Amino acid sequence: MNAVDIKELSHVYTNSKVLHSLSFQVSQSEIFGILGPNGSGKSTLLKILATLLHPTYATHVLIFGEELRTAMQKTRQKMGVVFQKPSLDKKLSVFENLKFQGMIYGFSGNTLLNKIHKLLDAFDLKDRSDDLVEELSGGLQRRVEIAKALIHSPKLLLLDEPTTGLDPSIRKDLWKYLKLLKESDVTCLISTHIMEDADQCDELLILDQGHLLALNTPHNLKKSHEHNVLILQTSDADNIALFIRDKFDLKPTFIDSYLHIETKEAENVLTTVLEAFPNKLSMARISEYSLEDVFVRLTGHRWKT
């Protein structure tokens, strides 16, 4: 059984369609990423999955085999949600935040205490248990936020841009915990616009303007383009583009006034261009094919966040 199984999901806000007939599955115990720039519809998708928004249309939206829209209470019990905007009560301690949330899910007594202590252990929060949340650093607050979402031991964790606004070391820290979760059989569905995050997912869905553009492992997405990218900035772009096209049978493209050439022999192309057009290049760069290039190639427009 899949953790999430979506078929033909569309959503329309008053006048604009933000999700266009999405269909995809998320297997159990994987870290599934949804990569898209701002406005791609990933937040809407997450809201629908979190039961905060009714989709305009869907053939089905199944969470562990159960229809989200009809078995809402039941699916809510199986899901934890980490919001982009923190949902912690800053006036309460770490312990109290976990306790009150656990009670909301119907746990009490020793069962609840055990759950809290396990989470405090797992997220290395034991020493800070009695501190008010407002006294914690941003990174620690993020950890408490995830612990809170896990208080009822959900099998599926939804994370809406959990790393936005965090500095790189805290991001790394967060991924450490996500990978631990995966090992304990929790499926993570994470939306992000950060390439480094997307790269760490087991599977990645690329979303742009509500359309599903690609769905594969980050590795395969990049492998299907086994090229490097040569990027040139030049005052004589038209002639250089023609030259490269004729000489190497490649198709240079203009992206924001830069010349992009995808090729296996980027060094060779570059030296040839340098010989033929001395002093015409103001910048040249060879980079490995990245998820960003995948996105650019799929959409034909630049990645904007």
Partner 1 sequence: MENMKQYLLPVYSLWLREIVRFLRQRKRVVSALGQPLIFWALLGFGFQSTFVYPNQQASISYLKYFFPGIIALVVLFTAIFSSFSLIEDKNEGYLQGVFVSPITRLGLVLGKVLGGATLATFQACLFLILAPLVGFSLTLLSVLLFIVLSFLISILLTAFGYCLAWKMDSSQGFHAVMMLILMPLWFLSGAFFPQTNLPWLLKVVMTLNPMTYVVAIIRRVLHWKEMYLLVDTPSLALSFLVILVFLGVTSYLAWRQTNRSFG
Positions that interact with partner 1 (CB under 8 A): 50-54, 73-74, 76-77, 79, 81, 83, 85-92, 96, 100-101, 103-108, 148-149, 152
Least CB distance from residue 80 to partner 1, whole Å? 8
Phi, psi for 75 (deg, rounded to 5): -70, -30
Smaller CB distance to partner 1: residue 157 or 273? 157
Closest to partner 1 by CB, 57 or 100: 100
* Per-residue exposure over 20-49, b if at least 16 CB sit within 10 Å of its own CB, e if not: bebebebeebbbbbbbbbeebbbbbbbbbb
When the beta carbons of 18 and 49 are compared against partner 1, the nearer one is 49
Q: How far is the CB of 55 from partner 1 (least distance, A)?
A: 13
C-beta of 71: minimal distance to partner 1 in Å? 11
Residue 51 vs 272, nearer CB to partner 1: 51
CA 55, 209, 44: angle at the middle one, nearest 5?
30
With respect to partner 1, which residue has the nearer C-beta, 32 or 83?
83
Q: Decide whether 105 or 175 has the Cβ nearer to partner 1.
A: 105
CA distances from 52 to 19, 55, 69, 83 (A): 16, 10, 11, 12
* Shortest separation between residue 84's beta carbon and partner 1, angstroms: 9
Residue 94 CB, nearest distance to partner 1 (Å)? 14
Sheet holding 258-263, edge to edge: 253-255, 258-263, 228-234, 281-288
Strand partners, 287: 229
8 A C-beta contact, residue 166 and residue 99: no
Min CB(294)–partner 1 separation in Å: 32
Q: Are strands 258-263 and 228-234 parallel, antiparallel or unpaired?
A: antiparallel
Closest CA to 264 of 246, 289, 291, 295: 289
| Phi, psi for residue 185 in degrees, rounded to 5 | 70, 25
